[in-house]
Amino acid sequence: MSNKLELTWYGKDEPIIIEPRLLIENTILSNCEADSDTENILIHGDNLLALKALERKFAGQVKCVYIDPPYNTGYAFSQYDDNLEHSEWLNLMRPRLSILWNLLSDDGSIWISIDDDEQAYLKVLCDEVFGRNSFVASMVWQKRTSPDMRAVISDGHDFILTYAKNRERFKDTRNKLQLSEDQAQNYKNPDNDSRGPWTSADYTAQGFRPNQMYEITTPGGAVFTPPEGKCWKNIESIFSQQVAENRIWFGTDGCGMPRRKTFLSEHEGVIPWTWWTNKEVGHNQEAKKEVISLFGASNVFDTPKPERLIHRIIHIASNPGDLVLDSFLGSGTTAAVAHKMRRKWIGIEMGDHAYTHCKVRLDKVISGEDKGGITKAVNWQGGGGYRFFELAPTLINTDPFGEPVINAEYSAEMLAAATALHEGFTYQPDNCLFWKQSFGNEKSYLFVTTRHLNSTYLDSIKDTMEDDEYLIIACCSFDAGLDKSYEHITVKKLPQMLLNRCEFGKSDYNLNIVHPPMYKDDEEEADCDE
């Protein structure tokens, strides 16, 4: 019996087998005229399949993951009772979280928006998937400006769970926040110091340290010793140096208790904390206004996040040039903000919003038409680009007799690339030897062909192989006994060689979310609702 503390639910132990899919660029929808070398990626398709497609190439490369998954409120699912609803949501979240964790760099972090309905379950799930030691903090975002008068107790906040791949490295690399306007106003310059505005701090410290227990005489003649239970902040020689540098303030009359001056011009930023007010990072109504300005009032996206909120997350967690990923892209906020902040990004959206919102929004960001959100704050003028990808269809279908067959939509090249993906090889055709189509480890290769194989054909391949090279050939048919005739060549038949590895014929692993019922008086109560 295991002593491990864990969350259990219906179906947790059932394996989820994911069919690896190819990502196929839709060049018509890509926008890279101004930046032909862009590394930004917009993907339309189920995010579990898309994440699986990204896993090999981008593992360990993503600096910041932000996701805003469906909150699993009571109306989120169309065909489950309450117990199955939570189990289904957890079953669908866990494999996605596992892949996202694999994609994170060693100093990367993942940020997940969630509300009270599922926060407790999600926290325990994340502890299990990421490791409890990876937990950083639970941010509290004040999402409303006033209570919802229809609620029993109105929810005024959401949570943002934050985990880091390596907490110590994240602490060393995470960025501090700039002072807010209110904080900056605390800096004054009563002595006209040439270094500009400053604020002062207590010059005492807790405890007793003999070399920090000296007597201080102020310029006005007042004499001070440390209060009971305290000592001075520094030893006397450092104090004297700070006085010489005009970094100690004794009050306007020169007789005050010494305080250390901290200059606004030298301020290195504020340590982030968990209380994020709507004044600092925006609220739901602000987010809706941003979406309306981009898409119009008749095409509003449900539950968007304000750009200022995403800006803070990306600022703390990354630097220009780093890779940001959002696999629940929604209306495209994360990609838009990352783009304006000059980060590389990957966004995944399974619904039509990929076309109607994400692409439209990002095109406006690139053209400079998007004037809202953080545009002015970061001085965004337009530019950049992205590539638009679709998930390939399932590799194996069934014929009218129920037998598995290769999907007719796959070209020879697609079949070769997809088979390599399934078998753990990298598809990269050799310029000289046709059979070196995909490579694995230690001089192992995979060759996929639709032709019938015979010994003459295999002999021609064998003659070009080195003694320490190994080859797997995947084909549709071959002469009897050919699969046992060569020491360094293994012959396998398609599609049988793939069937035991993956679940084929499943178009998506989506969350089956439906839009919640709208209140008749939503518009009238918008100000108090959000």
- DSSP letters spanning 103-141: HEEEEEEEEEEE-TTTHHHHHHHHHHHH-GGGEEEEEEE
Instruction: Note whether 157 and 53 are same-domain residues.
Output: yes
> Given 212, 237, 266, which residue is the final one in a domain?
266
* Whether 160 contacts 123, CB under 8 Å: no
> Given 244, 266, 288, which residue is the final one in a domain?
266
Instruction: Note whether 260 and 355 are same-domain residues.
Output: no
Instruction: Note whether 201 and 347 are same-domain residues.
Output: no
* Whether 120 contacts 159, CB under 8 Å: no
Which pLDDT does position 185 carry in this prediction? 86
Domain with residue 290: its CATH number is 3.40.50.150
Unique residue bearing structure tokens 């699969």: 483
pTM for the model: 0.86
Instruction: Note whether 385 and 309 are same-domain residues.
Output: yes
Instruction: Note whether 256 and 309 are same-domain residues.
Output: no
- Which DSSP category does 370 fall into? -
Rounded Cα gap, residues 421 and 55, in angstroms: 11
Rounded Cα gap, residues 22 and 40, in angstroms: 17
Going from the C-alpha of 472 to that of each of 159, 480, 481, 499, the distances in angstroms are: 50, 17, 15, 17
| Residue 356 forms part of a structural domain | yes
* Whether 104 contacts 65, CB under 8 Å: yes
Which pLDDT does position 27 carry in this prediction? 97
Instruction: Note whether 167 and 30 are same-domain residues.
Output: yes
Instruction: Note whether 40 and 157 are same-domain residues.
Output: yes
Instruction: Note whether 371 and 471 are same-domain residues.
Output: no
Unique residue bearing structure tokens 């070769």: 416
Contacts of 516 (CB under 8 A, 6+ apart): 73, 75, 76, 302
| Residue 519 forms part of a structural domain | no
* Number of compact structural domains in the chain: 3
* Whether 274 contacts 138, CB under 8 Å: yes
| Residue 10 forms part of a structural domain | no
Instruction: Note whether 52 and 145 are same-domain residues.
Output: yes
Which pLDDT does position 505 carry in this prediction? 85
Instruction: Note whether 104 and 164 are same-domain residues.
Output: yes
Which residue range is the domain that position 77 belongs to?
Answer: 23-175+271-391
> Given 225, 241, 266, which residue is the final one in a domain?
266
Rounded Cα gap, residues 211 and 203, in angstroms: 15
| Residue 525 forms part of a structural domain | no
Rounded Cα gap, residues 520 and 524, in angstroms: 9
* Whether 276 contacts 140, CB under 8 Å: yes
Instruction: Note whether 259 and 282 are same-domain residues.
Output: no
Rounded Cα gap, residues 69 and 445, in angstroms: 40
| Residue 447 forms part of a structural domain | yes
Nearest CA-CA partner of 115 in 314, 284, 362, 344:
284
Which pLDDT does position 302 carry in this prediction? 72
| Residue 521 forms part of a structural domain | no
| Residue 17 forms part of a structural domain | no
Nearest CA-CA partner of 175 in 311, 67, 305, 283:
311
Q: pLDDT tens string for the chain (530 positions)?
A: 556 778 888 888 888 888 999 999 999 999 999 999 999 999 999 999 999 999 989 999 999 999 999 887 666 555 555 555 788 889 999 999 999 999 999 999 999 999 988 899 999 999 999 999 999 999 999 999 999 899 899 999 999 999 999 999 999 999 999 887 788 888 999 999 999 999 999 999 999 999 999 999 999 999 999 999 999 999 999 999 999 999 999 999 999 999 999 998 888 889 999 999 999 999 999 999 999 999 988 877 777 899 999 999 999 999 999 999 999 999 999 999 999 999 999 999 998 889 999 999 999 999 999 999 999 999 999 999 999 999 999 999 998 888 899 999 999 999 999 999 999 999 999 999 999 999 998 899 999 999 999 999 999 999 999 999 999 999 999 999 898 889 999 999 999 999 877 888 888 887 765 544 443 333 333 343 33
With 0-12 / 13-18 / 19 or more C-beta atoms within 10 angstroms meaning exposed / middle / buried, residue 115 is middle
Instruction: Note whether 245 and 387 are same-domain residues.
Output: no
Which pLDDT does position 2 carry in this prediction? 59
Going from the C-alpha of 207 to that of each of 242, 260, 370, 523, the distances in angstroms are: 22, 19, 55, 59
Which pLDDT does position 76 carry in this prediction? 57
| Residue 373 forms part of a structural domain | yes
Domain with residue 489: its CATH number is 3.40.1350
Which pLDDT does position 74 carry in this prediction? 65
Which pLDDT does position 522 carry in this prediction? 39
